[in-house]
Structure 1
């Protein structure tokens, strides 16, 4: 049973694992997945592979469920599913458990405050949550995640926005959450298409679009071609997904990609996947979500996931949010985003640091701070625009 005071935003970043991505995902489990710090700290030393991760998270989920700690069980099942191999029966089972528990536990909320809906797209459906505040609507936000998100982990974000008088339309787009897992809608770089479907379905105008992580590239891309978006928030520095993916690989691989040496690229990556379980997971997930068969094809497809070539079409108010301790995105890429935006109405850039407890990817250590900054910025931008029109 849902109770409002159970949704709280935690603050802090913790050193729980020597491997940066495992460490980040453990923090993510605590901050956005309802995980318990001491429980996570206890299992961290036992995690060396993705198989270890799945086992330990599943054990935590089962124990939490047996102890009727359902909010924790939801997050643990979700994060167990996270590193399970895409397409496997176990992944589907873990996903189903997390989803079933989530919508049962929060059924009162979805009967009273947030409406679940679906929007037809291609040969499937995009899941949508619609939240309308009880008070006067100060702004309307469309929000989506990135490469490996699913909408249910955004519940605290939605609740916070609603409490501030913001109407919210949250959706899983192609390659994300239920759109991928239930409708087999794979990733597209043409993000204006799913955003247009949302805008058309609900007859929305004058909205703020927020995209996290890879969404920091997708949202600007949508804004370039959809002018019903008046304000865009790139919650993550992502000028070019291909460049981000290649930022941590040997230069040899980049050269081989430029030469189009498909077999050599696949051989090189296969060796890397065999030696590094997290590289294996990342490549397998990427190939699954983009519906390609080889690592070369995946890397080649990520080339289209960029906003620099179309940045001059973006004319909205633009907020760029970065973090100086991001384990995934090189912080210096912020300049490429800024340089790609010569025609925006206004540009605001903020870099979060350890002193904010928000230095990690997507600032998971202090979501409330970042949300408050976003709300302040978008209402200020909206008011300035209204004043200018008058």
Structure 2
């Protein structure tokens, strides 16, 4: 796994997503530096990343092409034919390139859920199984991004079931299954389908709220890893907009909320992307309806029902999540069996969202914690 964090763009989210392309998308540093200076809008991003993707594919540099197509798709507007084309191109190249892995090491499967299917990978160690882990991402990840994470866990004797849940990846793009805050429902579907007991559940980013929420209602989960601080998705997204928005939301001023958010979207690429993606993944028509729905995405009200071993991972320069929110998560967990909290910094090269500058360090810590908790 690559290591390091780079200052590539003045806008925080573009900078993070460029680093994500480099660290998790097999991007080339010099190529990414070259396009960074040409990006001011999401449209710029899609154009430049698409050019890199096509060049990489033409030159037979398939791992890069997979990542570049995926990240071009990231900022393309939801619901467009171009979004679908970029998604399908990235996914098709991914499974063609990794055909041997998915023939011999990882089984691709699907679990029936509502009126569609949740895509699942099953990866079992060849020797003794030391633990069983279920993994899912957050607001905008696809499970294909996590192939190195899956392989690292399996190398330590850990069985892995990774899936795209409602509102995520293939579940959203191919089955039209929209987000739910009741994450215990898809988790139950996975546990039932494979008759799993005594598992560790790992959720990244928004998954740092979803996984604890599921654990409160599903006690076949014995250990929880919140890879990201997320007591309340509502409070996180409101840190990116004027305080006036919270007042208008409290007053249920729908039209004024929509006007305010649309003005902010016009000048802030992060807000524009977050609102467009959020409205699509939660199947609502307006910013107000999206923000109202987001209010249900919290774990504090059910935190006292969480009784498992709990690992909370954070980073001190996360551009999405204010670091001070960690205390709210800890305060919401009075009845956990044990609580371990780790904050990563630039000295770890892991100070950014989901610690993507040093995934190997974080995975090493997670594996150590799992095996310790499992065997105590």
Could you tell me which residue of structure 2 aligns to residue 77 of structure 1? 69
* Residue 280 (structure 1) shift: 1.4
Partners of 1:115 and 1:45 in 2: CA distance = 41
| Structure 1 SS opposite 2:22 | helix
| Structure 2 SS opposite 1:310 | helix
Could you tell me which residue of structure 2 aligns to residue 131 of structure 1? 123
Partners of 1:17 and 1:55 in 2: CA distance = 16
Decide whether the 8 Å contact of 2:70 with 2:87 is kept in 1. yes
Asked if 1:113 corresponds to 2:102, the answer is: no
Could you tell me which residue of structure 1 aligns to residue 304 of structure 2? 312
Aligned pairs for 1:244-323 (under 5 A) are: 244-323=236-315
Asked if 1:36 corresponds to 2:32, the answer is: no
Residue-by-residue CA offset, 1:95-135 (whole Å, 9 max, x unaligned): 01001000000011000000000000000000000000111
* Residue 276 (structure 1) shift: 2.2
Residue-by-residue CA offset, 1:194-232 (whole Å, 9 max, x unaligned): 000000000000000000000000000000000000000
Aligned alpha-carbon RMSD (Å): 0.5
| Structure 1 SS opposite 2:231 | coil
Task: Select the residue among 210, 222, 231 that pairs with 2:214.
Answer: 222
Could you tell me which residue of structure 2 aligns to residue 388 of structure 1? none
Asked if 1:210 corresponds to 2:210, the answer is: no
The runs of 5 or more residues in structure 2 that have no matched partner are none
* Residue 273 (structure 1) shift: 1.4
Structure 1 runs, 4 residues or longer, greater than 2 Å off: 275-278
* Residue 275 (structure 1) shift: 2.2
Aligned pairs for 1:174-189 (under 5 A) are: 174-189=166-181
Asked if 1:93 corresponds to 2:85, the answer is: yes
Partners of 1:243 and 1:113 in 2: CA distance = 41
Could you tell me which residue of structure 1 aligns to residue 5 of structure 2? 13
Asked if 1:52 corresponds to 2:56, the answer is: no
Residue-by-residue CA offset, 1:224-263 (whole Å, 9 max, x unaligned): 0000000000000000000000012111111000111111
Partners of 2:337 and 2:325 in 1: CA distance = 21
The runs of 5 or more residues in structure 1 that have no matched partner are 1-8, 385-390
Partners of 1:305 and 1:276 in 2: CA distance = 24
Partners of 2:273 and 2:238 in 1: CA distance = 16
Asked if 1:379 corresponds to 2:371, the answer is: yes
TM-score, normalised relative to structure 2: 0.99
TM-score, normalised relative to structure 1: 0.96
| Structure 2 SS opposite 1:189 | coil
Matched residues, number:
376
Aligned pairs for 1:340-351 (under 5 A) are: 340-351=332-343
* Residue 331 (structure 1) shift: 0.1
Decide whether the 8 Å contact of 2:56 with 2:62 is kept in 1. yes
Partners of 1:331 and 1:276 in 2: CA distance = 22
Could you tell me which residue of structure 1 aligns to residue 142 of structure 2? 150
Worse-superposed segment, 244-253 or 330-339: 244-253
